[in-house]
Amino acid sequence: MREAVSLSEKSPERPTNFRVGALLFDVDANRILATGFTLELPGNTHAEQCCLSKYAAANDMTEDRVGDILPPHTVLFSTMEPCAKRLSGNISCVERILQTTRGGAGIRQVYIGVKEPSTFVGDSAGRAQLVREGVECFYVPGFDDEILKIATSGHGHGHGQPEPSHA
């Protein structure tokens, strides 16, 4: 999680989303497989999405089938609960994680630093949705304040709300 927090600091500040860091970890090999942070890859990309996309690309696999080639005990660390809903309408990270499990293996455990704040989608259903589909979720204590400070640093200074536009 410490490494994921460092990754989140590389993400550009934006009022329209959070700065999140994530990584895929092979438990058996004790090895990081791929890293990601919000907006790392071109387009409106999330941290978890960047991990999966980078791992797929590095292994000549399409993103939708990356679950077929992940090592058996691959887990995901993310500074924030994976999203269940995106204001942009893009595919959620929960969907992307569940997609890895369709072949039988895939990501079955997710380690989370903080629950998603209510800023954009209200009470986020990401964790509950994962658990319902059989993916175990674990809260990693001790990083909350640091994670939230980084995640919201592009949101202006008015009580966590986006900066008013001066149009």
Strand arrangement, sheet containing 74-80: 31-37, 21-26, 74-80, 109-114, 136-139
Cβ closest to Zn ion, residue 120 vs residue 143: 120
Neighbour tally for 153: CB within 10 Å: 16
Instruction: Determine, following the binding rule CB under 6 A, whether residue 80 of this chain makes contact with ligand HJL.
Output: yes
- The residue from 51, 76, 93, 147 that contacts Zn ion (CB under 5 A) is 93
Cβ closest to ligand HJL, residue 32 vs residue 41: 41
Neighbour tally for 167: CB within 10 Å: 3
Angle, CA 121 vertex, CA 120 and CA 124 arms, to 5°: 125
Residue type, 24: L
Residue 47 binds which of Zn ion, ligand HJL, none (CB < 5-8 A, kind-dependent): ligand HJL
Q: Could you tell me the smallest distance in angstroms from the CB atom of residue 87 to Zn ion? A: 11
Q: Could you tell me the smallest distance in angstroms from the CB atom of residue 51 to ligand HJL? A: 10
Question: Which parts of this chain interact with Zn ion (CB under 5 A)?
Answer: 46, 83, 93
